Amino acid sequence: MAIAFLLAYLTYYVRPVRHYSYAVCVSSGGTIYTAEPDSPFAECIAITGSHISFVGKRADLENLRAQSAGWLGRFQSLLTFSRSGITDTRIAINTLDGDLSILPGLIDAHAHPLEYGEASMGVDLVGCKSVQSVIARIISHISLESAEPSGIIRGSGWDQNLFEGKQFPSAIALSSHPELQGKKIVLRRIDYHAYWVSEAILDSILTENLAQDVKGGKIVRDRNGRPTGVFIDNAMDLIDEILPKRTDEDRFKYLESTAKEMLAVGLTTVNDAATDLETVEFYKKLDAQDKLPVRVTGMVNCGYTYCGDQVEKVSGNKFNLRSVKLFVDGALGSWGAALWEPYSDLSSSRGILRAPEEVFPPLIQQWVDAGFQVNSHAIGDRANTLVIDSYEQVLRNLSYKSTHSP
């Protein structure tokens, strides 16, 4: 009875001592910025598992460590263990040298995390200054990495502006190396607004689809009208249609790869700037299972039709969705940004509008009425004029009033 009373007394009347996995403190020249208005700066931060459990002065942290080292602290740790699973009552304090500081997790306001993760597993073509350099990297990659089950070789990062002549490459060029002949190769341009594919991929596309021009995109053709192997903006859909559909297993693999790189540089939140409906459900499922490795804010992308009846705003633990992404034009490097005047280096083009002008004002209005923030991809001056005019029209339709004002 006496032992039971003692345990009850200690459980309910002894103030618990917090226990930490480790702590980090700054030197006199550094600081910890908390972003909290009442206490914006601190000397130390302590971490328990994946949670911040202490932010404050070093003296206070030292006092807590002294308490945990005593017999009462050790006894309390037994009580704490049964509730939280924490077994380490020692506080290892690490001190940063010099004037180093600690900031809250950084947020990437515009990214494509799944595409980035996918690209990291393919051929890195960033910086290639010739078609031969691209081919060399592909050969090196396939000698080290296993091919996809589909047999498709993927890569990204090429930029024809680094090549001599600054002209788009061709499918025939990829077949110039014996080891690549007959291979299915899909290479994204550095701006993600164009594909460069091999002859084997061209052969996989229905002839009637290649014969037609694509609204809101372009199939680059030779003098005889034959596709050269480069597909820009909406024409990229022809390639996507023959590629294996992305699975949730793929999505998690790509997200996990991106998250590791994000966390290594202090990024803890990412805005996914084009989240299709399947990926929205993927993020929601991961969040419900507490498996999201970073915080994600999505921008739902349903193309140029309204899909507000298929998606709702989300305010989850690590996943949030309250905005939509519309693509109005392409990118400058692939001559797809919609301009009022012709390109100085391609006088035959003024860029691409991804959909007819009249599509955007009512579509934006529908999303605003549904309570979504609208984010529009617009690079060229013509595209930005269209976006601003559309926003102006929507704002003009909003009705505000002050009732019962004096």
Task: State pLDDT tens for residues 209-241.
Answer: 898 999 999 999 999 999 999 999 999 999 999
Return the minimum-mean-pLDDT range out of 19-33, 184-198, 256-270.
Answer: 19-33
28 closest CA partner among 96, 94, 102: 96
Q: CATH number of the domain that 47 lies in?
A: 2.30.40
Output the pLDDT for position 260.
Answer: 98
What CATH number is given to the structural domain containing 363? 3.20.20.140
Is position 406 within any domain? Answer: no
62 and 87 share one domain: yes
Task: Among 49, 70, 104, identify where a domain stops.
Answer: 104
Q: Are residue 258 and residue 387 in the same domain, yes or no?
A: yes
- What are 143-155's pLDDT values in tens digits? 887 767 778 999 9
Q: Is there a single domain that holds both residue 191 and residue 321? A: no
Clarify whether residues 128 and 236 are in a common domain: yes
Q: Looking at residues 267-279, what average pLDDT do you find?
A: 98
DSSP 346: B
Instruction: Indicate whether 349 and 384 sit together in one domain.
Output: yes
Q: Who has greater pLDDT, 1 or 21? A: 21
Instruction: Give the C-alpha separation, 128 to 336, whole Å.
Output: 21
pLDDT for res 242: 95
- Whether 144 is in a domain gets the answer yes
Q: Which DSSP helix (H) or strand (E) runs through 299?
A: strand 295-300
3-state secondary structure 220-274: EECCCCCEEEEEEEHHHHHHHCCCCCCCHHHHHHHHHHHHHHHHHCCEEEEEEEE
pLDDT digits (tens, 9 = 90+) for 88-109: 456 788 999 888 999 999 999 9
Report which residue type is found at 84: S
Return the pLDDT at 68: 65
- In a domain? residue 253: yes
Residues 385 and 350 in one domain: yes
User: Residue 20: pLDDT band by 50, 70, 90 thresholds?
Assistant: low
Average pLDDT of the residues of the chain = 88
69 & 131 share domain: no
Q: Specify whether 190 is located in the same domain as 329.
A: no
* CA dist., res. 360 & res. 374, Å (int): 11
Residue 180 is part of which domain span?
A: 114-240
For residue 51, what pLDDT is reported? 83
Q: CA nearest 156: which of 113, 116, 103?
A: 116
Residues 80, 59: contact at Cβ < 8 Å? no
Q: Based on the fold, state whether residues 287 and 234 are members of the same structural domain.
A: no
> Are residue 71 and residue 142 in the same domain, yes or no?
no
Q: Are 217 and 352 in contact (CB under 8 A)?
A: yes
258 and 386 inside one domain: yes
Q: Which of 189, 219, 240 delimits the end of a domain?
A: 240
Task: Among 46, 75, 104, identify where a domain stops.
Answer: 104
Residues 391-404 have pLDDT tens digits of 999 988 776 544 44
* pLDDT class of 70 with cuts at 50, 70, 90: low
Answer whether residue 403 is part of any domain. no
CATH of the domain at 224: 3.10.310.70
* 402, part of any domain: no
Q: Does some domain include residue 405?
A: no
Alpha helices in 128-197 (DSSP H): 131-144, 171-174
The total of structural domains in the chain comes to 3
Distance CA 213, CA 71 (A): 80
Q: What is the pLDDT of residue 21?
A: 77
Amino acid 146: pLDDT: 72
- Asked whether the beta carbons of 325 and 299 are under 8 A apart, the reply is yes
Between 317 and 63, the higher pLDDT residue: 317
Give me the phi and psi of 247, to 5 degrees please: -105, 170
What pLDDT is attached to residue 208? Answer: 85
Cβ pair 297, 320 in contact under 8 A: yes
Mean pLDDT of 301-327: 97
Examine residue 181 and state whether it is found in any structural domain, yes or no: yes
Same domain, 146 and 195: yes
User: In 3-state terms, what secondary structure has residue 325?
Assistant: strand
Asked if pLDDT for residue 293 goes beyond 60, the answer is yes
Res. 386: pLDDT tops 90: yes
Within a domain: residue 109? no
Question: CA 116, CA 318: separation in Å to the nearest integer?
Answer: 20
